[in-house]
Amino acid sequence: MKKSAGFTLIEMSIVLIVISLILGGVIKTVGVQRQQLKRDETRQQLTVITEALLGFALTNGRLPCPDTGVDGREDFAGGAALATLIDCDDEEGLLPHVDIGVGNNDVWGNRFIYRVTGSGIESFADDVPSQVGTPQAAASSFSIDSTSPNPAIGNITINDMNGNSIALQVPAVVVSLGENGGRQMACGAALSLAEQQNCNGDTIFIDSFYSNQAGQQFDDLLVWLPLTVLKARMIEAELLP
């Protein structure tokens, strides 16, 4: 029998299957790389935000209040900055990106969550005058948010997935809710317990590695301002003795 030249149907099928497997692998790899790039970009944004928050603190003698509306501006209790004390509308809201001069959204198009401690920190936080819009004089007092009388320390805690402390007495934290941020803004039970912890409005936050395991999904990206760094910068700038 004469064997026909070229591929048989079976050979063609095998070739097509192999090509599709290779292409599938390539597409998957490209997808993972794109995801990684977006996460890297968000980490860079968070680094810029940290610097911007420090800059705000150096200029104003305090950290900004969260934006509890949609305009990217700080919100104060009663709707306006008080003449006497800084009093944030809420300790948690969205990053007041306009006031600190950074971009409004993460790479997935969602605003950053921002929480500032309701307690001031140590001896420089006691009932300082409002300095909204005016630079604080050198070596004067410094406040995070002096609504609490004689506050002692920052009150935000960063834990790992297992509830172990990563950082305590944190003055401020900024969260990108990751790719599932749009859904997570509702902070519903569809999210893993760890992700719910980053949008439920309390003082506990979770930082962990990326996971897409069922029930353990975690794609949030966090940055926080350590008390030590904030104090060191304020001392350098002679805003603290």
Nearest approach, Cβ of residue 196 and Ca ion (Å): 8
User: Which residue sits closest to Ca ion, CB atoms considered?
Assistant: 178
Using the minimum distance from each CB to Ca ion, give the nearer residue, 94 or 240.
94
Cβ at position 228, least distance to Ca ion in Å: 23
CB of 237 to Ca ion, least distance (A): 27
Amino acid at position 211, single letter: S
* Amino acid letter, 119: S
Residue appearing with tokens 């997808």: 31
CB of 164 vs Ca ion, minimal distance in Å: 15
Question: Which residue, 75 or 106, has its beta carbon nearer to Ca ion?
Answer: 75
Our CB check for Ca ion shows the closer of 149 and 215 to be: 215
**Cβ-based neighbour number of residue 72 at 10 Å:** 16
Q: For residue 185, count other CB atoms closer than 10 A to its CB.
A: 14
Least separation in angstroms between CB 136 and Ca ion? 22
Helix-then-strand count for the chain, H and E: 5, 7
Q: 148 or 211: whose CB is closer to Ca ion?
A: 211
Q: Which of 223, 90, 230 is closest to 171 using CA atoms? A: 230
> Any idea what DSSP says for residue 159?
E
Q: How does strand 165-170 pair with strand 221-225?
A: unpaired
Closer residue to Ca ion, CB minimum distance, 69 or 129: 69
In this structure, what token pair is assigned to residue 110?
């969602």
Residues contributing to the site for Ca ion (CB under 5 A): 67, 69, 71, 73, 75, 177-178, 180, 184, 195, 197, 200, 202, 204, 219-220
